[in-house]
Amino acid sequence: MAELKIGQRVHSVGDCRRIGTVKYVGEVEGYSGEWVGIEWDNDAQGKHDGSVNGVRYFQAKSATSASFVRPHKLSSGISFLQALDLRYRSTSTKEEEDEMYVLSATNRRVSVQLLGKDKIQNKLNCFEDLTSASLFYLGVSSCGPPSELSVSVPNLKELDLTGNLLSEWEDVGIICNELPALVALNLSYNRMSHHVVGLQLKNIKILVLNNTGLNWTQVELLKDSLPLIEELHLMGNKVKNIQPTSSTTVQGFIHLRLLNLEDNCLADWNEILKLSHLQSLEQLHLNKNDLNCIRYPDNVAIQKLASGCESFEKDIVPFQNLCCLLLGGNNIGDLASVDSLNSFPRLTDIRLSGNPVSDPGKGGIARYVLIARLAKVHILNGSEISPRERKDSEIRYVRSVISELQGNQEVIKQRHPRFFELKTYHGIEDERPSSQATVPQKMASGLLSITLKCVGASIGEKPPMTKKLPASTTVGKLKNLSGSFFRFKAIKPRLFLQEEGSPLPLVLDDDMASLTEAGVCNDSTILIDEEN
């Protein structure tokens, strides 16, 4: 093996997934011979922080991410063409084929024969017919002889190089230039250099750079090299800021439809507003960041964004084509953020799961309230909203607001911007005191048809039961009634509201709340379990 250099990417011999960076080459006090100090990508794979017996040789990123290894136990990798041969032309050994078996009823090994294996192998051996290649975790560290690439795989369109030893953009540029048909490239888990100069990735439409250590400054340097880019994935790169190079907002990327910034460190919504002028952007993935609010830019914010932007167009609409916004697993807790989503002109697909505002157990609101407050949404948290669910949710929401605020119009306007619109649209009247003569009619119109299902193990199997109950019935009263309906006395019931489209039922734990206040509406399903 050639002499290792500081900064070189290597993996353990025999384990292509144990990858690290060379930080030191030389002697270690108290030990004979030459050693290589490695900082492993996985913090748990080392033994120390770069110091041994009180002597520091280098500073690792954590207390257990570094170790010293003999040079012969490290591999500096193979070329792209060698990896192709290894993945697609190598044949299984007798030992590997002996391991392909299933156990019979008598616990004897029965060999497994792969039907069509030879046919598939023959097809893979013809590299010129290969349109998609997956070379993940094979130790690829270089492109190999450039002239051989285009001859070997001239029709390659999709290439997955996840988890290899690539770090120089020059190698990536050679691969892309020699493979003119290549449109999708995955470089995830390659620690790419921050030095990006003279690169041409002119045919790439999908680029995946998850966990590559790049920040937005490097993305800006890549921009001119990606004239046709449509999808850009940047997950897990610890991005904190969006830093445009020549203006206050990100410019260029004229074909970019999807931008994935999940699992980063974005905490300020003003950073997200810097993406608002990407005119082709349809999907923005921001799951698992640290965002605590959402705001659609008003005129003042738009003018602020326009300052210092020479190419700013006065008539541009922020996020004008954005139809999918994924915000799961953030820290959003205010209803104003939810309501602001109505201002995005084309937004129909939203994810808010994993935020305090959408978790009723943490003081958030239920799915039906989210649906009612979000006027244009067709998909919420990955689940499609049917016309029936939207209608039921909006009616249920209006009635719960009427019951809670009892006609206090100023408070309603402030807290529930869509209330009067929905109330008029569905023809819902305010509840008014009625005379004794109209009590029977009032009772009839205020009854809710509810399906009760027993799910508690101790309750036993019982057929579902549909009952008509006054909307004013409290949760505590329904618990008592459920014992009478299903004839169980020694069991303390716990009620859950099963909502259409919601992955988990909503616990009804406020015994004093009425069914309406608890979000129960006509044709709702309530599950009856037992405490603990």
Per-residue pLDDT of 370-425, as tens digits, reads 999 999 999 999 999 999 899 989 988 998 888 777 767 888 888 999 999 999 99
The residue-averaged pLDDT of 355-364 equals 86
- Is the distance from CB of 221 to CB of 244 less than 8 angstroms? no
Q: For residue 309, give both structure tokens.
A: 């932007």
Average pLDDT over residues 240-259: 93
The architecture of the domain spanning 78-90+117-384 is Alpha-Beta Horseshoe (3.80)
How is the chain split into domains, by residue range?
A: 8-75, 78-90+117-384, 389-426, 447-530
Task: Round the average pLDDT of the chain to a whole number and report it.
Answer: 86
User: Has domain 447-530 been given CATH number 3.10.20.90?
Assistant: yes
The mean-pLDDT minimum among 6-10, 336-340, 526-530 falls in: 526-530
| Predicted local distance difference test score (pLDDT) of residue 471 | 83
**Section 212-240 average pLDDT:** 95
pLDDT at 434: 44
- The 10s digit of each residue's pLDDT in 47-100 is 999 999 999 999 999 999 999 999 999 999 999 999 999 988 765 555 545 555
* SS3 of residue 211 by DSSP: coil
Q: What percent of the chain has pLDDT over 90?
A: 60
Residue 498: pLDDT above 90? Answer: no
Q: What is the pLDDT of residue 486?
A: 86
Contact between residue 399 and residue 524 where contact means Cβ atoms under 8 Å apart: no
- Supply the pTM of this predicted model: 0.80
| 8-75 CATH | 2.30.30.190
Could you tell me the two tokens for 175? 């691969």
- On the question of pLDDT at 442 being above 90, the answer is no
Tell me which of 175-189, 291-305, 439-453 is least confident.
439-453
User: Which string of DSSP letters, residue by residue, matches 465-478?
Assistant: EEEEEETT-BHHHH
The label of the residue with tokens 């508690």 reads: 456
Instruction: Report the C-alpha dihedral over residues 470, 473, 478, 484, rounded to 10 degrees.
Output: -60
The candidate with the shortest Cα–Cα distance to 269, out of 244, 232, 242, 304, is 242
CA–CA gap between residue 441 and residue 469 (Å, rounded): 14
pLDDT confidence of residue 430: 72
Residue 467 in tokens? 């009952």
pLDDT of residue 245: 86
pLDDT tens track for 341-354: 999 999 999 999 99
